Structure 1
Amino acid sequence: MRKTTTMAGDADAYGVIILVEGLSDLYALETLARRRGRDLDAEGVRVLAMKGATNIGHFLDHYGPRGLRARLAGLYDAAEEGCIRRGLERAGLGPGSQVEMEELGFFRCSADLEDELIRALGTDEVERIIEEEGELRSFRTLQRQPAQRGRSTHDQLHRFLGSRSGRKHRYGHLLANAVDLNRAPPSLDRVLAHAAGVR
């Protein structure tokens, strides 16, 4: 999997650039594309992790209409919609609603990537994957913490996936690799479909 997180100057080599918030999104998107039989490199599609939604302005300055004029798409968390919208507006792309953002190729996860993948797989399957990775005891320990008692298993899993550095990245790939393709998160499939349609 490609791990590029910086703004390289080779946009001409790619037909479409998909901007995502972090490496977990990048790994999940590339994993799902591969499972769909897509070769993003061959298609001229590049996925870039921005290291946070607040960095979108820098990426749009570089790749957007005032920079390299690449064809753009994106995936973002629901909580970051305002940040993404403001970045697109400042770059001269100017969407006003979520529908208009989707027309530009920017798609919102229902909460975030992890939330969508847990919903798609179901909590039992996510726990099975965690057990395969040798981390079920750590998850059980988290479940016993006072702040986690009384929360749903879904919410506990969501907290667990984000509770250690690097865990999100690893499970982004693992969960995307395990999800039934008929139940894959719609936002991931839609941004991949958009990228294919604007090449």
Structure 2
Amino acid sequence: MADMRAFREAVDDWASGGAGETARELAAHLGVRTAVLLEGPSDHAAVEALAERRGRDLAAEGVCVLPMGGAMSVARYTGLLGPPGLALRLTGLSDERERPFYDRALDRAGAPRQGFFVCVADLEDELIRALGTPRIEDVLRAEGDFRSWQTFVRQPAQRDRPREQQLRRFLGTTKGRKIRYGRLLVEALDPDQVPAPLDDLLASL
């Protein structure tokens, strides 16, 4: 049975130059009405984790969460999924520094800007600031990564950097760790700690 993963894969193939027929057929079959555009898989993990915490089944609601592989791909995805293509409602997250790319892409596609919510640096930074270092270190302990973290912060290149920057760098040092912690950090949040861009995105869906 076709599922939302198949639709994501069809869209990615389309964005890479393939034909769009499969994506169109799956969108109709699955009742896709909204595409949530995110820069990467760690953002995807975070959004899905918060949806699950709130009892939401986004796929069943016709919402497809799509990691684009970087902000530079936003024009391609908005063109395929917005008014010029599948005419889905577009929403998502953008980083403050990448906001001009999103604005231009949305304007070119004839899609509204108001469905996109802006993180100061990125979603990872928002989660780190929301939780704070002590709570994140608790998560690292629970996951068996605390010793690696202690070794990392003692490295000469890291010693004088702010803790938040050290954490962001550490989470990106091992393949798959950033994606795994995208989910784990969301699961560690108290209900009133959810960063505003992520909270607002879920509320808009």
TM-score if structure 1 supplies the norm length? 0.87
Q: Which amino acid aligns with 2:74?
A: I
For this pair of structures, how many residues does the alignment match?
186
In the alignment, is residue 142 of structure 1 matched against residue 159 of structure 2? no
Output the CA distance in 2 between the equivalents of 1:89 and 1:32: 29
Displacement of 1:177 after TM fit?
A: 1.0
Output the CA distance in 2 between the equivalents of 1:85 and 1:17: 16
Partner of 1:132: 142
SS at the partner of 1:17? strand
Partner of 1:120: 130
The percent identity for this pair of structures is 50
TM-score if structure 2 supplies the norm length? 0.84
Partner of 1:61: 79
In the alignment, is residue 11 of structure 1 matched against residue 27 of structure 2? yes
User: Which of 65, 81, 85 lines up with 1:47 in the alignment?
Assistant: 65
In the alignment, is residue 108 of structure 1 matched against residue 108 of structure 2? no
- Runs of at least 4 residues off by over 3 Å: 2-6
- Can you list the C-alpha shifts for 1:17-44, whole angstroms capped at 9, x where unaligned? 1111111111100110111121212222
Output the CA distance in 1 between the equivalents of 2:71 and 2:10: 14
Asked if structure 2 preserves the Cα contact closer than 8 Å seen for 1:21 and 1:52, the reply is yes
- Can you list the C-alpha shifts for 1:46-83, whole angstroms capped at 9, x where unaligned? 11110111111121121111111011101122221122
Output the CA distance in 2 between the equivalents of 1:146 and 1:44: 49
- Can you list the C-alpha shifts for 1:132-179, whole angstroms capped at 9, x where unaligned? 211112211221122211222222111111222211101001111111
Displacement of 1:5 after TM fit?
A: 5.5
Output the CA distance in 1 between the equivalents of 2:79 and 2:27: 13
Uncovered stretches (5+) of structure 1, i.e. residues with no partner: 96-100
Q: Which amino acid aligns with 1:149?
A: R
User: Using a 3 Å threshold, how does the CA distance of structure 1 residues 5 and 161 change in structure 2: closer, same or farther?
Assistant: farther
**CA-atom RMSD, angstroms?**
1.7
Displacement of 1:11 after TM fit?
A: 2.8
Uncovered stretches (5+) of structure 2, i.e. residues with no partner: 12-22
In the alignment, is residue 169 of structure 1 matched against residue 169 of structure 2? no
Output the CA distance in 2 between the equivalents of 1:181 and 1:58: 35
In the alignment, is residue 90 of structure 1 matched against residue 108 of structure 2? yes
